[in-house]
Amino acid sequence: MSDDLPPDATGPRFYGRRHGRRLRAGRARLLETLLPALSVGIPAAGGDLDLPPLFPRPMAGYALEIGFGAGEHLAWQARANPDIGFLGCEPFVNGITTLLAEVETHGLDNIRIFPDDARLILPALPTAGMGRCFILFPDPWPKRRHRDRRIVNPSVLDEIARILADGGALRLASDHPVMVDGMLMHGRAHPAFVWEAERAADWRQRPADWPPTRYEAKALHGRPVFLTFRRIVRQQG
């Protein structure tokens, strides 16, 4: 992250954990050797992050995952879509090292990592540059006084609407009723998105190209809900 800007003290505050259990030697090694090669920084000179040079070969498109946790969904998508360049954002170091191990094991060359709060890099992502954005089982912050901490909020949706290409998909999942309500309320109210679900199966069943994540498996709060919002086509002029 040579051209990184230092964390901005006036930027958004991250309330989650950045570190968990002490890393095993192999994972610590990956953090030192592989992460620097895959890590993406915010352009120090300002302006948009140029996506194509981040990858070793031309990509047919790009996708973003916010809060990838241990990265099993991101790694699955990267393997299933080898010509899409994936950018994953996650500040939790232990989760990052789990993804790094997957990248190494499977030789994935289409994953790049922003190892910090996604809200810091969203403004630097190019307009209409992403075909898909995933936010799966985000921290629900169910208490009313913590609602400002929820990642699915109008200002983040504004940024996602900007970076998604016309017709691009925003995939959201949660098993917490408060978070599901918020996702539906903010997603449906947003002028750039339509929720295309027509029947209960459309949100109760995970689509085939949507592998389960660790948090889905934990089923901490109840039955999971899978929401796909489509970015509407921009008006010309």
| Contacting residues toward ligand SAM, per CB under 6 A | 14, 16, 66-69, 89-92, 95, 117-119, 136-139, 151, 213-216
The CA distances from residue 159 to 5, 125, 127, 133, 232, in Å, are 20, 9, 9, 11, 14
Query: What is the closest distance, in whole angstroms, from the C-beta atom of residue 236 to ligand SAM in the complex?
Result: 33
Question: Minimal distance in Å, beta carbon 117 to ligand SAM?
Answer: 4
- Could you tell me the smallest distance in angstroms from the CB atom of residue 32 to ligand SAM? 21
Residues with catalytic annotation? Answer: 139
Contact predicate 228/197, CB 8 Å: yes
By beta-carbon proximity to ligand SAM, the closer residue of 81 and 116 is: 116
Residues 59, 36: Cα–Cα separation, whole Å: 21
Residue 149's contacts (CB-CB under 8 Å, 6 or more residues apart) are 15, 139, 141
In 3-state terms, what secondary structure has residue 74? helix
Tell the smallest beta-carbon distance from residue 155 to ligand SAM (Å): 12
**E-assigned strands of 29-129?**
61-66, 84-89, 111-114
Using the minimum distance from each CB to ligand SAM, give the nearer residue, 73 or 231: 73
3-state secondary structure of 225: strand
Nearer to ligand SAM, 70 or 161 (CB): 70
Q: How far apart are CA 24 and CA 83, in angstroms?
A: 32
Residue nearer to ligand SAM on the CB measure, 51 or 152:
152
169 phi and psi, to 5 degrees? -115, 135
